[in-house]
Structure 1
Amino acid sequence: MSEAIAMPKVAGKLTPNAPLAPLVWFKSGGAAEWLFEPRDADDLAQFLAELDPAVPVMGLGLGSNMIVRDGGVPGVVVRLGKPFAQVEQIDATTMRCGGGASGILVSSKARDAGVGGLEFLRGIPGTVGGFVRMNGGAYGREVADVLVECEVVMRSGERRTLAAEALNYSYRHSELPEGAIVVSATLRGHEEDPAVVAEEMNRIAQAREESQPLRSKTGGSTFKNPDGHKAWALVDAAGCRGLTRGDAQVSEKHCNFLLNLGSATSADIEGLGEDVRARVKAQSGIELEWEIQRVGVEA
């Protein structure tokens, strides 16, 4: 990786050759050529406007649903930190959430405000920016059900507000432009007794605890559910429960989760995922699609 890219002046923090493994749930992978943690949306917009348009830009939230390949990520990785983690109530049913706010924070603030319908975000291990881009979902609900609009900074530095319809949501997918960073989102639920919201959040938290390997180095749901099927059941039926490659393992608790047992490389984790896809295809004829983002270059 080179430091030859001319970097604009910033108000936030700009770090060359920044290790990403500590910032992602799998705790594996290489470095970002540059890691930019903007002070605010203006700082981000000015930086992107002045950055050479040829330089690739990628957003990073909690790094929960992501494999960073061992060769690292060229260009600039933008991480939205505390300045983007604000959540405020704007009317009886609506919350405005910063792109760096976690699903747990958003659902908790909604509960305190007496807003129902956002409880499912308690079950999504990520930030607003990530789950708006991916149409994140859990427990029968998804972002498409609650998003009113989002504010993004385009790769050009232009700031735009996009209505939910503009994202053309489908299952775990949006048409948000490449390189656009979600800096805030407006989500709408319904008025609800905070105690009822709290009860549903507790139910979701308990269901996750019982069914998912939450205390492990993992990346969340690995594969999308194909039409009419559950990915975990296909993986299990193909005999992949507990399958390993190096220090990477298919979780025995939930077959749609991959684990880093200690010192797995990202190549081990991604390779294990491909092993699983091949076995499922051979056993059921179904081609599993990755839900986890795989970014960067191989070592």
Structure 2
Amino acid sequence: MTKSLPNVRGTVTRNKDLGGLTWLRVGGPADVLFQPADVEDLAAFLSGLPTEVPVFPMGVGSNLIVRDGGVRGVVIRLGRGFNGIDIDSDRVTAGAAALDAHVARKAAEAGLDLTFLRTIPGSIGGAVRMNAGCYGSYTGDVFESAEVVLRDGTRATLSASDLNFAYRSTTLPEGAVMVSATFKAPNGDPEELTARMEAQLAKRDETQPTKDRTAGSTFRNPAGFSSTGREDDTHDLKAWKVIDNAGMRGATRGGAVMNTMHSNFLTNAGGATAADLEDLGEEVRKAVYAQSGITLQWEIMRVGERDAPKAAKKQ
């Protein structure tokens, strides 16, 4: 890792532990954590950062396993200055660090329907990158554009066609940091939208382990779509169903467990390492494939190295 970094107005922290910044509370340190003051600060930093230094944009850590060896290069985490929400007619522009739930509530107050975001953990940057969705609605359905800072420090506006939205994926350029996104939202009655979100929250709390240490859904649904929330929604190709069929609900490894309330929630039940969690996930994938021939795809992002870098040998 380079010893010389660009001058910034934000905060640079070397050898920063990332475990405390993730919902699963596991993982090693980043060589460097950079928290920019604003977009200009971010652009200047990336422009001055040597091109060989890898960059990883990190949200609030709600859908992330940082491996025990930590992350080489620079981790960029947006905070204040990147969480504003602006509403103009039927368009909602939110900073990448704005929480999904907050955006949904502010939009509802203005009579705009982004209610599907209310129960999705994390921030807008992650929601766009992963095309987050539930109840039959996806971020890509309402997405209009995103403002990003590319790896070389230049700023760009990306459209939906640039991102190629698909189930739980987009093609955001490597090393690009999203700073805001604009959505075109359907109109709705504020009271009805609020009531719908309250009902969705109640249903989530009844069916998901919201009080446990998880990172949301572990694997993508083999069906290729999220829950619709409809009465006729089928479950045969839902991740939790194929995990159950393989007998892996409640499976454990170290401090990791496949949650007994919802088997597609990988959980740190206490003292788990990142390796415990990832290895249990791989055990589940093998068991599901052996039982059904289905290869589960990770929905949780996993980054970093399993082992800490070896100390340089003395000359």
Question: In which range does the TM-score fall when normalised by the shorter chain?
Answer: over 0.9
Deviation at 1:5, TM superposition (A): 3.3
* SS at structure 2 position matched to 1:218: coil
2: CA distance between counterparts of 1:231 and 1:201? 24
Which shifted more, 25-34 or 226-235?
A: 226-235
Deviation at 1:193, TM superposition (A): 1.1
1: CA distance between counterparts of 2:41 and 2:134? 33
Identity %: 49
Gaps of 5+ in 2: 225-236, 308-315
Amino acid corresponding to residue 176 of structure 1 in structure 2: L
* SS at structure 2 position matched to 1:144: helix
Aligned to 1:287: 295
2: CA distance between counterparts of 1:43 and 1:204? 39
2:102 equivalent among 102, 105, 117: 105
The runs of at least 4 aligned residues of structure 1 exceeding 4 Å deviation read: none
Deviation at 1:139, TM superposition (A): 1.6
Aligned to 1:65: 63
2: CA distance between counterparts of 1:191 and 1:131? 21
Amino acid corresponding to residue 104 of structure 1 in structure 2: A
1: CA distance between counterparts of 2:77 and 2:157? 20
* SS at structure 2 position matched to 1:35: strand
Task: Tell me the C-alpha RMSD between the 2 structures.
Answer: 0.9
2: CA distance between counterparts of 1:211 and 1:181? 34
Deviation at 1:178, TM superposition (A): 1.1
Aligned to 2:234: none
Structure 1, residues 141-172: CA drift from partner, whole Å, max 9, x if none? Answer: 11110100000111111100011121111110
1:133 equivalent among 129, 134, 137: 129
1: CA distance between counterparts of 2:287 and 2:262? 17
Aligned to 1:202: 198
Matches within 5 A, 1:63-102: 63-91=61-89, 93-102=90-99
Aligned to 1:235: 243
User: Is structure 2 residue 275 aligned with structure 1 residue 278?
Assistant: no
Deviation at 1:227, TM superposition (A): 2.6
User: Is structure 2 residue 270 aligned with structure 1 residue 262?
Assistant: yes
Aligned to 2:138: 142
Aligned to 1:48: 46
Amino acid corresponding to residue 246 of structure 1 in structure 2: G
Structure 1, residues 214-266: CA drift from partner, whole Å, max 9, x if none? Answer: 11111111001113710010001100111000000000000100000111000
2:260 equivalent among 252, 257, 277: 252
Amino acid corresponding to residue 66 of structure 2 in structure 1: V
* SS at structure 2 position matched to 1:62: coil
Aligned to 1:39: 37
TM-score (structure 1 length as normaliser): 0.97
1: CA distance between counterparts of 2:200 and 2:271? 31
Amino acid corresponding to residue 278 of structure 1 in structure 2: K
2: CA distance between counterparts of 1:173 and 1:215? 27
Distance 1:71 1:166, change over 3 A: same
